Amino acid sequence: MTRVLISDDLSPRAAAIFEERGIQVDQKVGLKKEELIAIIGQYDGLAIRSATKVTADVLAAATNLKVVGRAGIGVDNVDIAAATARGVCVMNTPFGNSITTAEHAIAMMFALARELPAADRSTQAGKWEKNRFMGVELYGKTLGVIGCGNIGGIVAERALGLKMRVAAYDPFLSPERAVEIGVDKVELDELFRRADFITLHTPLTDATRGIIDAKAIAKMKPGVRIINCARGGLVVEADLKEALDSGHVAGAALDVFAVEPAKDNPLFGHERLVATPHLGASTLEAQENVALQVAEQMSDFLIDGAVTNALNMPSVTAEEAPRLRPYMKLAEQLGSFAGQLTETGLKKIVIEYEGHVAGLNTRPLTAIALKGLLGPLMDSVNMVNAPIVAKERNIDVAEVKHERSGDYQTLMRVSVTTDKYTRDVAGTLFADSKPRIVGVKGIRVEGELGPHILYVTNRDTPGFIGKLGMTLGNAGINIATFALGRAAPGEDAVSLIEVDQAIPDSVVAQIQALPQVVQVKPLRFA
């Protein structure tokens, strides 16, 4: 039975969703690392928030784990590289708390502009320091948004509603999208130069770590105010403190810190700082939304193979999964066929789609074709890590779609180039949705791939089929099906012979010794 572990506090509805879908669920919150390692091997799925650390050690012990679901956006607590290497899909829920986080950033901007926390403390202390707290209007000011994706886009929309001007820096923001949401797409230095307020909404990567440092602050206009509700490592806190001390930065509002829980931070106590304890996603609505979303996504993956919001494999919707299933079987068989015949170093892989399949979501098909192809050549390759494995080994992978219609309603072709040759294998689906091979090395040959297939390339001369059949018969090996094709009379021919059992090496050697045989290879298919 499929089992899922919930190791962090999630809404009770998450467990109910798993159970309604027929998945056994255990909720064990607050496990120490050693305790998690001791039990994780029992589970197919792991649902977490930010407390559980899914490290390489945990993943090494997770022998049955197929998916990690993070109820929230950030996955800093998951070793994605290690998960990918072990074939574990990592999902997050990027939209469940988007509005909540965006609203918190806007609230922090208001708090900075009008010095609300300090004014509250002063007033409740019995002071009436009306002249001390001289704020600024947001109207007409320029907000610089660093990272204008889902959350950043919502913040920009809210800021425009406040009649602010918005300048956005995001390498992935298209000019068309910028026009659509009403922001100025600018380079980072231009944003620093123009912005009265700067808000961060970008993930923490090697490229963004410390994006706000002393050098960046020096480019900002005096009196700028900085809001960070994304990730603590985006801001160099020591540099920010110096800028607050000097007054170059008029104020900072931070919901995240470099080290969390942030119980001791050099910024704490600064009169120009507004701080909250990572509350960006902390609303009842958001916590309920992300818990339900992660439970639905994980259930869809474990039951139907649907992939939603994955960080390390292509997405497949629940509606697509049933339609793609027979194509995925075909893609895996074509890849496995080519991989089992490849005996020298791979240089290039081209996967072509023609006809009906070209209009489908082909990214998962390409991933599973690579898995089939690389699987016979190296250990521990799966649909999740196959594209990474190919990249690490400098294998050029290309995906090609043809709008043309050919002899078949749908056609897939896998071509491999090694240091010695280029070989291709093509296949289709027949009316019963069963995969069929329809071409090898450009030679037409039609056949189904059973568990045991003997692949033979031979010169097309009389008597060969009889000699081959006699050799197999003398060895007590029964032929189930026999598919044959040739390039032209007297030239190369290809045979796909399905047999009822594995063929011993001694029999393979006898077939290889037949004078017409160029190549013989026993193939295995799941």
Which entry of 49, 231, 413, 452 is annotated as an active-site residue?
Answer: 231
Distance CA(7)–CA(47), nearest Å, equals 6
Which entry of 104, 278, 436, 452 is annotated as an active-site residue?
Answer: 278
Query: Structure tokens of 233?
Result: 């490592």
Under 8 Å between Cβ of 436 and 450: no
Residues 6 or more apart in contact with residue 15 via CB below 8 angstroms: 6, 25, 27, 295
Distance CA(181)–CA(198), nearest Å, equals 18
Which entry of 129, 180, 260, 491 is annotated as an active-site residue?
Answer: 260
Q: Active site includes 260?
A: yes
Q: Active site includes 86?
A: no
Q: Active site includes 34?
A: no
- Measured CA to CA in angstroms, residue 259 lies from 16, 53, 96, 205, 236 at distances of 34, 15, 25, 16, 12
Query: Structure tokens of 422?
Result: 């280029």
DSSP per-residue string spanning 441-478 = TTEEEEE---SEEEEEEEE--TTHHHHHHHHHHHTTPP
Under 8 Å between Cβ of 145 and 169: yes
Q: Distance between terminal CA atoms of the chain?
A: 22
Residues 6 or more apart in contact with residue 356 via CB below 8 angstroms: 409, 410
For residue 407, the SS3 value is coil
Under 8 Å between Cβ of 322 and 333: no
Distance CA(285)–CA(350), nearest Å, equals 46
Distance CA(410)–CA(430), nearest Å, equals 9
| Closest listed residue to residue 367, CA positions, set 375, 355, 359 | 375
| Closest listed residue to residue 227, CA positions, set 249, 245, 260 | 249
Residues 6 or more apart in contact with residue 421 via CB below 8 angstroms: none
Q: Which residues are catalytic?
A: 231, 260, 278
